[in-house]
Every structure is written in C-alpha cells, then in structure tokens.
A and B are shown apart, each in its own frame.
Chain A
Amino acid sequence: MCDTCGCNITPGNRHLVAGDGKLSRTADGKNAVTVLKGLLDENDLQAHHNRQHFDRHAVLTVNLMSSPGSGKTALLEATIDALRGDLKVAVIEGDLETENDAQRVRAKGVPAVQITTGSACHLDAHMVHNALHHLPLADIDIVFIENVGNLVCPASFDLGHHRNVTLLSVTEGDDKPAKYPVMFRAADLMVLSKTDLLAVLDDFDPQRAEAALRGLASDAPVIRLSARSRVGLEGWTAWLRNELAAQRERVAQHHTTRPAIQPDGRLRHRGAAPVPHPGYVLLPTKP
C-alpha cells in the first residue's frame, strides 16, 4: 500500500470515498473522519526506507518463506556453494530463538545476521532495518532474508525486499497453496524442495501443487530442486541471476520494485495519470 498514488482505493472500497460514501456522516451528526490508510503504513514506510538502502547498493533482496523445516537454510547453504566465486551473498536469519541458522550460514564464509524475534511469528521492516546495518551492503550482490518458518503471518509484512520466494517441501501436502492462499499468492517464485524424496513419497504430486498455485491466479514460476542432492539448483540460480540483472537495470533507471503483493496497486502504478491520495479528508457534519 502506498501513500502517494492512492492505490489503497480499490473497487472494493471506492464507495467509501465517493461523494456520498456511507461513512461520510454518522447518524447522530458526529464528526466522521475518512482516513483510508493501510493499517500497516508504519511498517510499509520503514520497508520503503529499507528498499532505498538495498537499491543504493544495487543489491537484490529475496525473502524466503515457508513452513518450518521445509529446507530454507539448506537451500541457502547449497546456493552459497553454487554461487561461490561468482556472486557475493549475505543472509538475514529470522527465528524465535537461537543463532543456529546464522552459524550454519557463517560456516560457509558468508556474512549473516541473526534476528531472534522472541515470540513474534514474523519479521517486520523495523527488525530488518536493524539487521541490514550490520551487513557490508556495498560489497554484496544478493541479500537473502530467511523469514520465520510460518505460512501465515510473514506474507503480510513488506520488509523492503524485492522478491518473495515460497518453499513447499514435498513432505508437506500438495494442496498447501489452497490451504494458505495469502502466503502463496505473495510468491514471485514457488520452490518445490526436497524433490529427492519424491521417489519414496507417493502422495505428493508436483502437478497438483502447481495447479493449486494457478488456482490463486498466480503465474509465478515453479522450480523443483533438492538442496541435499544438488539437483535442480541450476534453475534456481538462473532465476536469481535474472532477477539480479533486472534489479541492476531498475537501479540504473532509478526504479524499484516490490514483491508480488497488491496487484491492484501495481496496476494503478502503471497508469499514466496519478491518482490523488485522499489523505485525511474531514467530512462536513450534517445533523
């Protein structure tokens, strides 16, 4: 949601701002203030600031989300090995407790900052801001944010990253996209992980998983890989290289991008005429 172009106004709520919107006055004539601000504006403002940090250094930032145990850290370890000597990587790790994942990444010779959220079920833009100042961004090509393992809450928070990657391991159900539509709708890329186990699992059908994703009107690509057996990694690293090239091109053009959320807002950004943001509109009181 953005404060400058009015993309908060959707066909679903436009009636609220239209001339005689039903919220424009109250029955007993009290002052009604139409606000139309996103509830996460404070987070989104910080996310915008984070994105400026990343863009200043032409860094591509990728947010990895999945349920716990679907192989995010293993994928990072394999990715670091695959990109070694070619692209420079850093990692922001999110977990409720422990430095374990950051230590696994550091063991690969890559800078990593661990955020321990205590009891919070997701990372937010403020936590990521604190972490990114501990990373040598000027010397980095790709920052991975490994979000807290959770298929619900992380999808709602913009961290200032550019792309969302959602992992679905084949030990889970292939109907997960239908069960967690908010999360999978936010994916710019869906990674089916642990595919080396498909041989011994007869209840996960990758095509059914992809069909469930399409059922969310998502055209996100699907990559099948196994971090452990290093199968399918070339598709993943090719996707990363493409995204990094696109990010550098955007930075050269002074553009930026947000992950695959708010399609309605994105549509408005493409329009030629800017839509004025309503801001605070104080409506007349008519007793």
Chain B
Amino acid sequence: MHELSVCRSLIAEVEAVALQHRARAVRCIRISMGPLCGVDPDLLQRAFPLARAGTVADGADLLIERLPVRVRCERCEHESEAVPNRLVCARCGDWHTRLVSGDEMILASVELDADEVPVAAPDGAPGP
C-alpha cells in the first residue's frame, strides 16, 4: 500500500545519483529486497511507471532481485533457509535464530547513459 511512496524515494535516490554523474538518462535500476522488508516487489514494480514519469529515469527498467530468507541458529550455529513467518532453525527447530538475510530493501545499482565517466567518486571511494 505504501509501495508508491517507497518508489518515489527510490526515484529521488536515483535522480541524485544521475545528477552526480551528469547522466543524460537512467537505463536500468536494480534493487534487492527480501520478503521481510515490508514492501511487495510486484506492487513496487507496478508503481514504478507512475513514479518514474517525467524524471531522468523515465525510460528505465526496474530489475528486482529477490533475496531469500536465511537464519542462523544461535544454539547449533546451523545456517538455513526459512519461510518469512517461521524463522526457526531447519536443523534443530530452535527459535533462537538471527536473521542473516531477508529484510533488505536496497537500491543496489543504477545504469546510466553518460558522456564520460567522472574521474573520482565521492566519499573517498576509489575511482575507476
């Protein structure tokens, strides 16, 4: 239900990246999300065309990588896949587990149409 507002903040992030790299257009946006992030990937996909309209991402594709739910048992230290509403250890059945993956909702990368690659990335990150 709040997928459109999430999509709008996604577009805002993408616009900032595009501006920073002086991109003419955004071709592809990749996000990663797990089932426990609270946002439905299909609804997000459907909200995307509305949110991108009139922005630098107007022609962009949205690719969603769906991450699995994985838990690590604090008792037997086994790591296993789990379903979203049953986060117990697959080996010993204990509920004292820690979520290893499955609640992410992350803008992973953006593909840009840009004339040139900027020489240095901000935040001291290594340039190309």
Chain A residues whose C-beta falls within 8 Å of the C-beta of B96 in the assembled complex: 217, 219
Instruction: Determine if A31 and B21 form an interchain contact, defined as CB atoms under 8 angstroms apart.
Output: yes
The answer to whether residues A23 and B30 also contact, given A12-B67, A214-B95, A217-B97 and a CB cut-off of 8 A, is yes
User: A230 CA to B81 CA in the complex, in Å?
Assistant: 43
Contacts of A219 in B (CB 8 A): 96
Cβ contacts B18-57/A at 8 Å (1 or 0 each): 0011010001101110101111000000000000000000
Number of interface residues of B (CB under 8 A): 60
Known contacts being A153-B2, A179-B85, A215-B86, is A11 close to B100, with CB within 8 Å? yes
Interface flags, A17-52, vs B, CB<8A=1, else 0: 000000100100011111111111111000000000
State whether A37 touches B70 (Cβ < 8 A). no
B127 touches A33 (CB 8 A): no
* Contact indicator A40/B109 (Cβ below 8 Å): no
CB of A152 within 8 A of chain B? yes
Is the CB–CB distance between A40 and B67 below 8 Å? no
Interface residues of B in 77-128 (CB under 8 A from A): 84-88, 95-114, 117-118, 121-123, 125-128
Across the interface, A282 reaches (CB within 8 A) one of B38, B85, B106, B121, namely: B121
Residue from A16, A35, A215 whose CB has the most chain B CB atoms within 10 Å? A35
Q: How far is the CB of A208 from chain B (nearest CB, A)?
A: 14
Whether A36 lies near B106 (C-beta < 8 A) is: yes
Instruction: Choose among B84, B86, B97, B109 the residue that contacts A34 (Cβ–Cβ < 8 A).
Output: B109
Complex contacts, B5 vs chain A, CB 8 Å: 120, 124
Task: Give min CB distance, A129 to chain B, whole Å.
Answer: 16
Contact with B along A112-129 (1 / 0, CB 8 A): 000000001110100000
B interface footprint on A64-88 (CB within 8 Å = 1, 0 otherwise): 0000000000000000000000000
* Closest-CB distance, A151 to chain B (whole angstroms): 11
Partner of A36, one of B9, B108, B111: B108
Task: State whether the Cβ of A245 lies closer than 8 Å to any Cβ in chain B.
Answer: no
Q: Which of A12, A41, A156, A185 contacts B13 (CB 8 A)?
A: A41
Least CB separation from B88: chain A residue: A215
**Measured between alpha carbons, how far is A209 from B48 in the docked complex, in Å?**
37
CB atoms of A281 and B121 under 8 A apart: yes
Instruction: Determine the residue in chain B with the shortest Cβ distance to A33.
Output: B110
A282 touches B125 (CB 8 A): yes
Q: Shortest distance in angstroms between A32's beta carbon and chain B's nearest beta carbon?
A: 5
Is A155 in contact with chain B by the CB < 8 A criterion?
A: yes
Cβ contacts under 8 Å, B36 to chain A: 181-182, 185
B contact residues around A12 at 8 Å (CB)? 32, 34, 67-68, 70, 100-102, 104
Complex: how many Å from CA A10 to CA B103? 10
| Cβ–Cβ < 8 Å partners of B23 in chain A | 31
Q: How far is the CB of A36 from chain B (nearest CB, A)?
A: 6
- B residues in contact with A26, CB < 8 Å: 28, 111
> Cβ of A39 and Cβ of B70 under 8 Å apart?
no
Once the chains are docked, how many angstroms separate the CA of A262 from the CA of B23?
33
B99 touches A263 (CB 8 A): yes
Q: For the complex, what is the distance from the CA of A179 to the CA of B83, rounded to whole Å?
A: 12
Partner of A10, one of B6, B101, B118: B101
Q: Which residues of A contact B1 (CB under 8 A)?
A: 121, 150, 152-153
User: B residues near A, CB below 8 A?
Assistant: 1-2, 5-6, 9-10, 12-13, 17, 20-21, 23, 27-28, 30-32, 34, 36-39, 67-68, 70-71, 84-88, 95-114, 117-118, 121-123, 125-128
Question: Would you mind naming 16 contact pairs between A and B with Cβ atoms under 8 Å apart?
Answer: A10-B100, A12-B102, A16-B108, A23-B109, A36-B108, A39-B39, A120-B2, A120-B5, A121-B1, A122-B2, A157-B2, A177-B85, A178-B85, A217-B99, A264-B100, A280-B123
